[in-house]
């Protein structure tokens, strides 16, 4: 099944008496246990050779990985004596990374249209929550860096 083919809804609910799948799916478990099971489920799906991934998705993954590696390389330019080019290279690397990230995310948004409304909403909530978490981490990282620099400046006066 390709990403452009709509998913077929389940015709009937699974038999709740079936303890192998049905009963487990309807019971709530703790958040930590659910998170661990979800990671295991994703690892299993990623390793499954029967699941076909579109070539454009594979390319966007390679593009994103490459942009991260290039950005990391540019972080070490000042140490290599190329500090006068560091700002230009870091800006270029950051721009390249942001473009690769947008391509990566936009390429995966199409899957929401073929999900059930409930699953699409949950996925959307996960994306929004993850985005807000990333923004909060970035803001707090900048704040901690500023506090560290301010403390160093105050101690040297």
One domain for residues 101 and 126? no
Is residue 2 situated within a structural domain? no
- Contact partners, residue 123, CB within 8 Å, separation at least 6: 111, 112, 115
Distance, in Å, from the CA atom of 4 to the CA atom of 110, rounded to the nearest integer, reads 8
Residue 124 maps to a domain: yes
Q: In terms of domains, do 47 and 82 share one?
A: no
pTM (predicted TM-score): 0.59
**In angstroms, rounded to a whole number, what is the distance separating the alpha carbons of residues 51 and 86?**
42
pLDDT of 81: 73
pLDDT at residue 25, as a whole number: 58
Q: CA torsion 48→51→54→60, rounded to 10°?
A: -30
pLDDT tens per residue, range 49-74: 888 878 888 888 888 888 888 878 77
Number of domains in the chain: 3
What's the CA gap between 96 and 33, in Å, rounded? 37
What pLDDT sits at residue 24? 53
pLDDT-derived band at 4 (thresholds 50, 70, 90) equals very low
Answer whether residue 17 shows pLDDT above 80.
no
Note whether 122 and 154 are same-domain residues: yes
Q: What is the pLDDT of residue 97?
A: 85
Say whether both 107 and 59 belong to one domain.
Answer: yes
pLDDT in tens, 75-130: 777 777 777 777 887 788 888 888 888 888 888 888 888 999 999 999 999 999 99
Per the prediction, the chain carries an average pLDDT of: 79
């Amino acid at each position: 099944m390709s990403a452009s083919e709509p998913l077929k809804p389940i015709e009937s609910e699974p038999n709740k008496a079936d303890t192998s799948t049905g009963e487990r799916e309807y019971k709530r478990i703790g958040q930590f246990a659910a998170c661990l099971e979800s990671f295991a489920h994703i690892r299993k799906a990623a390793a499954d050779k029967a699941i076909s991934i579109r070539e454009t998705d594979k390319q966007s993954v390679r593009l994103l990985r490459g942009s991260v590696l290039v950005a990391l390389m540019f972080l070490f330019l000042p140490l290599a004596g190329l500090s006068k080019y560091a700002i230009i290279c870091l800006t270029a690397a950051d721009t390249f990374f942001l473009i690769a990230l947008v391509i990566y995310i936009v390429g995966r948004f199409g899957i929401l249209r073929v999900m059930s409304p409930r699953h699409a909403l949950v996925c959307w909530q996960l994306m929004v929550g993850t985005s807000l978490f990333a923004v909060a981490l970035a803001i707090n990282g900048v704040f901690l860096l500023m506090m560290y620099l301010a403390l160093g400046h105050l101690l040297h006066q």
